[in-house]
Amino acid sequence: MTAPHAPLRQFPVQDDCLQLGGITLTRLAERVGRTPFYAYERNHIQSRIALLRGVLPADLHVHYAIKANPMPALVQMMATLVDGFDVASGGELKTALDAGMPPSRISFAGPGKSNSELRSAVASGVVLHLESEEEMERAARVGELLGMMPRVAIRVNPEFELKYAGMKMAGGARQFGVDAERVPAMLRKLRHLALDFQGFHLFCGAQNLSAHAICEAQRLCVELGLRLAEHAPTPMRLLNIGGGFGVPYFPGEQPLNLAAVAEGLGTTARALAAASPQTRLVLELGRYLVAESGIYVCRVLERKLSHGQVFLITDGGLHHHLAASGHFGQVIRKNYPVAIGNRMHAAPREVATVVGPLCTPLDMLADSMELARAEPGDYVVVFQSGAYGLTASPTAFLGHPPPLEVLV
C-alpha cells in the first residue's frame, strides 16, 4: 500500500472548504473570476521566513532565488522580507530591480549569459556570478566599455555533490560553474583584470529532505571556499553556499528537520567567522520559502467512467502545472497532494484520476487517488504549488488560455 502524503496543515478548512488568506476557496474563485488559477498566501511566506530567522544564525544572509516564483507582486513582498535576491536571467534581473531590492544585494548566476545581460548586470551594479573563464573576460570587456568595474564572484563546481538531492547541480562534469581545480588559475588571471572580486558561489543541488546531507554539503562548501580564498586577489567578502532545502511533495516524504540543519549550519558559520570574519555568508533559498504557500486550482468539467475507472476532467492540466503532471524531473511519476478543495473531508470518497483537457495521455494531475466524490463545478486543488509552477510549464501548448495568479 502506498504511504500517505505528509499532513498538510498550512491552510485551515471551514465548512469543509479550504481557506487561503482568510478567504474560502469558493469565494476566492469568484474573486479571481475564472479557473484555473494559482493562489499564494502572504501569511504563510512571512511565517516561513520568520521561522528561518528564528533558528538560523543571526548573521546569516537569506536570499530569495526568484526562479522559484517570479510573480512580480510576490517578489515585491519578498524584497521587504529577505536580505537579497538571486536571479538567473535578464528578465529576472528586471523583476528584482523593479521590486526595489538594492543592486548590491542582487546576484546574477547561470551559464550562457548574453552580452546584453552582462551589460545590464554591470550597469546595474549587481554581483555577477561568473560561470567560466571566458565569461570572466567578457565581463571585464563590458566593464571597460561602460567605464565601470564589474562586481564579480566565481561560481565553483566542487568535486562533491549534495547527497540525496532531487536535482544534483555539482560534482563531476557540469555546465554550472568552474571546476574547483581550475579556480586558482582563474583567480590569477582575475588579478590583472579590472574586476571587483567579491567571493564564491557554490550550489550543489536542490530539493533535499536530508538534514545530515545538507549540513555536510554546507560544511564542505565553506571549507572549499576558504581554501580557494587563499588564491584570491582580495579578501573573500561573499560566500554563497546555495540552498537545497526541500519540501515534501510525494507519499512517504517527511518535512525537513530545520532544527538539525540550523544546528549544523551554526557550527559551520562560526568556523567561517573565525577564519574569515569579513565574509558574508549567504543562503540561497527559493522552493523552501514559497512552495507550500501556493495552490493550483482548476474546475471539474465532467465525470467520466472508463472500464470502471473514474476520470475527473478539468479545465487545468500539465500546460499550467508541468511539475504536478510528473514531467518536471520525476523518473517515476508520483502524485502531488491533491484534494477536492470545496469537499475537503466530505463523504463519500472514491478513487479517481484527475486529467486536463489536452489531447495527450501525459495530461494527468492525479493518478488513482482517493478523493471526495466530485461533481462538475467542484474545485480540484494541487498543493505545494508555490514554486516551479506557472513559469515552469508549457502554457502555449494547444492554445489554451494561461492561468491567473493571485497573492492573498
Report which of 67, 178, 189 is spatially closest to residue 131, judged by C-alpha positions. 178
Q: Which residues contact 114 (CB under 8 A, 6 or more apart)?
A: 90
Residue 334: all three cell numbers together: 508520483
Torsion angles phi and psi, residue 200, rounded to 5: -135, 160
Determine the pLDDT at residue 1. 45
Q: Are 185 and 163 in contact (CB under 8 A)?
A: no
From residue 355, how far is each of 343, 352, 384, 396 by CA, in Å?
Answer: 18, 10, 18, 18
State pLDDT tens for residues 75-91.
Answer: 999 999 999 999 999 99
d(CA 16, CA 341): 8
Enclosing H/E stretch for 97 = helix 90-98
The strand pair at 238-240 and 280-285 is best described as parallel
Residue 14 DSSP class: E
Asked whether 109 and 131 are in contact (CB, 8 A), the reply is yes
Q: CA–CA separation, 173 vs 170, rounded Å? A: 8
First to last CA, the chain: 37
Q: What would the pLDDT profile of 141-200 be if each residue is shown by its tens digit?
A: 999 999 999 999 999 998 876 554 545 555 565 676 899 999 999 999 999 999 999 999
pTM over 0.85, yes/no: yes
Distance CA 125, CA 330 (A): 38
Q: Which domains does the chain have, with CATH numbers?
A: 13-40+294-407 (2.40.37.10), 109-285 (3.20.20.10)
SS3 for 54-78 is HHCCCCCEEEEEHHHCCCHHHHHHH
The residues of the chain scoring below 50 in pLDDT are: 1, 164, 166
Q: How far is CA 258 from the centre of its chain?
A: 17
- Measured CA to CA, the distance from residue 203 to residue 129 in angstroms comes to 11
E strands within 286-376? 294-306, 309-314, 338-340, 349-355, 364-372
Rounded Cα distance, 113 and 2, in Å: 44
Report how many helices (DSSP H) and strands (DSSP E) the chain contains, helices first: 11, 22
**Burial class of residue 137, CB neighbours in 10 A (0-12, 13-18, 19+):** middle
- Residue 35, C-beta contacts closer than 8 angstroms, at least 6 positions apart: 29, 297, 298, 299, 315, 316, 379, 403
Task: State which H helix or E strand residue 137 sits in.
Answer: helix 133-146
Mean pLDDT of the chain: 94
Torsion of the alpha carbons at 75, 78, 80 and 86, rounded to the nearest 10: -80
